[in-house]
Structure formats: C-alpha cells, structure tokens
Amino acid sequence: MPPLPAADIRRAVRQGLEEDLAQGDATTTALFSRPIPARATLIAQQPMVVAGMAAAVQTFLMVDPSLHLSVSKRDGDRAQNGELLLQIDGDGRSILQAERVALNFLQHLSGIATSTQQFCRAVHDYPVDILDTRKTLPGWRKLQKWAVALGGGTNHRYSLSDGILIKDNHLALLQRHRRPVEQACRLAQRRRSHRLPIIVEVESLSEVRQALAGKPDVILLDNMEPALVRRAVAIIKNRALVEVSGGITLKNVRAMAAAGADRISIGALTHSAPAASVSLVMALARRAKRRRR
C-alpha cells in the first residue's frame, strides 16, 4: 500500500492542531515558563497494525521542528503489546501540546487497520474481499480508507462518482414501476458513463431475480442470513459478483464467506472500529535530572 501523499497528511495535521492549539495551551503555559528538556515514548498497549505514524510525526514537528524523533514502527508495521513505536526528545512543552492530536491519528487509524486485519484473517482461506464503505468521518475519508488498505482490506467507492450503487432509497423513488430493481438497473445501463460498475442492493430472493434481469455487475445482498445468502448465490450462478453487507461482525463474517460471497462490505471498519491502545509516557531528560541533584 503506497503512503498517503504528504500534502494530505499536512492538511489533516493542520486541521487537527487548529482545533486543539489555535488559542494556545493554557495548562502548559501556566506550569512551565521556560523550555524543559524531556523524553516521551509512545508504546503499543495491544497487538496492532500501525497506521497514522507519519501523521503523528508530522504533528510533533509542526508544533516544534526542533524536536528529535526516532521512529521504531512505521505505517503498515505490526507491533506487539509493550513495543516501542516512537521516541521524542526535546522541549516537554512542545510534546505536551502535540500529544493529543498525534495520539488521535495513531490510535484511530491503527484501530481501523487492526480491525480490518482481524476481518481479513477470519476469511483468509476463502476467495473473498473485505471492503470498506463511505461511512467515514467528514474530512477523514482518505486517511480512514488508507488505514483499511494497510490492514489488508479493499477500498469501495471513494465518492458518489466512483460507481453506480442503487440502494433502498433510490428504489423507493421508483416504486411506480412494477419491477423497480430491474428498472433501476436498466436505467443505469442506458445512462452510465465510462463503464462505471453497477451495484444494486436487494433484500429478498425475488429482488435478486429482478436484479439479474437488469444485468448489474454486482448484486449486494443486504442484511441476509448466511443460509439465505447461499440460496441467492445459487440463483445468481456467477452472472454477477455477490456482495453482502449489513450486520457483519467477526462472529458471522466467516459464515458469509462460506456461503459464497465474493465481497463483504463492512461499515464498522471506519465508523466504529475501536481505537488502538497507545500510551505516551513522559519523563525529564537525563541531563535535566542530573542538574537537579
């Protein structure tokens, strides 16, 4: 997976620091009037896929370019509980001011990458792709989808322009037609440009049959149990790719893969992945300790 463009990282870091530091740091200013040499270490508190390290580094350096950073784990690396991720040496005031924003990037994005890896491992022996969705935080889509890819997942649409995905609310506006799913697919076939893929969401076997008549590229089985997915796959018979979505968890993802799905899309990868546990431990630099003796 290629790294995120530096411009995207800088933009996200600037936004994060503007939220947190634009009006200054009242606590640090009240406690420390002079530079205070310090060392901070970021430690993994669980097994994880590291994501967001480049953004964390950029955060510290944007606050204070004089900080010295030593990176032990880079984006895409695996880390075990207790392993060192990053060491920062310099003015403790600067480290404190950058701490929360840097950890936000590292914990959130590592959480997404780690969760994605767990889903991918659960179905590793099936020919199925784990996909994300557009259920992302505003302004964070590139970062979140990049973290999914670091964890081994596949990115679905980045925006509404990347494919034709006919969902229940589109179909609700076509209810005057006797077979709305088929009609939607036929309209999309006539009007699409650049051979955009056509994906249609269905909720029953009768809608599966309608979809097949409309010849989409992908039939998305929404909120179906594995047994019903298996029946739908038998009806589709490789005439379209089969995607399943809705209520996918680590407990049922393998059953969905075994039922014959080609793709499994999971909104929870981005909208509710648990943050990875990372701690930042601060201490006075050794030289400062000797001066106090």
Catalytic residues: 100, 135, 167, 201, 222
195 conformational bin, left if phi > 0, alpha if psi -120 to 50, beta if neither: left
CA distances from 151 to 51, 70, 115, 125 (A): 9, 24, 7, 16
Contacts of 195 (CB under 8 A, 6+ apart): none
- Name beta bridge partners: 280: 42
3-class secondary structure, 53: helix
C-alpha distances out from residue 68 to 107, 246, 292, Å: 21, 46, 23
d(CA 225, CA 221): 9
Residue 264: burial class (beta carbons within 10 Å; 0-12, 13-18, 19+): buried
141-150 and 6-21 helices cross at what angle (nearest 10)? 120
Tell the burial category of 176 from Cβ atoms under 10 Å away from its Cβ (0-12, 13-18, 19+): exposed
Among the residues of the chain, which ranges form H helices? Answer: 6-21, 26-31, 53-63, 92-122, 141-150, 168-172, 180-191, 205-214, 226-236, 253-258, 268-271, 286-292
Q: CA end-to-end span of the chain, whole Å?
A: 50
